[in-house]
Amino acid sequence: MPLELEADWMEEDNGLMAGLSYEEGQQRFPKPNFRNPYEKPFGGSGESGWELYSRAARAVQRLVSRGAGSYLVVAHGGVLNAALRVILGIPPTANGQGIRFSFADLGYAMLEYRPEQHIWRLDRFEMGFNTRA
């Protein structure tokens, strides 16, 4: 199968946190007590929750627009979470509250879309495994 790269399926832009270890990122950019979904994280850099959600919505729209077929999307958990929330009609929330899908490493979701009825069906969800202790 031919490989296609799609910029909208790239992982969440975490701005100034990019390239830092998890521990260093937590030290330099501690989680605030409150963050609204319009606010850019990590010192005002990166994507807001709404920006990520909007980008994931564009990616889902393009995928559906391709027509009937089987497609494999390989991406990171942040954008996959946003795409599933788009499909389920769950908008971004303040402080990262609400539903979050735990893809971890090698997790996946199998979905089916029936455009003539606008029905999404989640056939399978595997959490994968978490390598972070």
Domain ranges of the chain: 7-126
What is the CA angle 121-127-133, rounded to 5? 160
* pLDDT score recorded for residue 111: 96
Q: DSSP states of 91-106 as a string?
A: ---GGG-S-----TBT
Quick check: 14 pLDDT over 80?
yes
* pLDDT score recorded for residue 96: 78
Q: Which residue has the higher pLDDT, 111 or 30?
A: 111
Across the chain, what does the average pLDDT equal? 91
The string of pLDDT tens digits covering residues 32-63 is 889 899 999 887 889 999 999 999 999 999 99
**Could you tell me the pLDDT band of residue 98, with boundaries at 50, 70 and 90?**
confident
Express as a percent the part of the chain with pLDDT over 90: 67
Nearest one of 41, 45, 55 to 15, comparing CA atoms? 45
CA–CA dist 131, 5 (Å, integer): 26
Q: Taking residues 4-20, what's their average pLDDT?
A: 93
* pLDDT score recorded for residue 133: 52
Nearest one of 76, 121, 133, 131 to 101, comparing CA atoms? 76
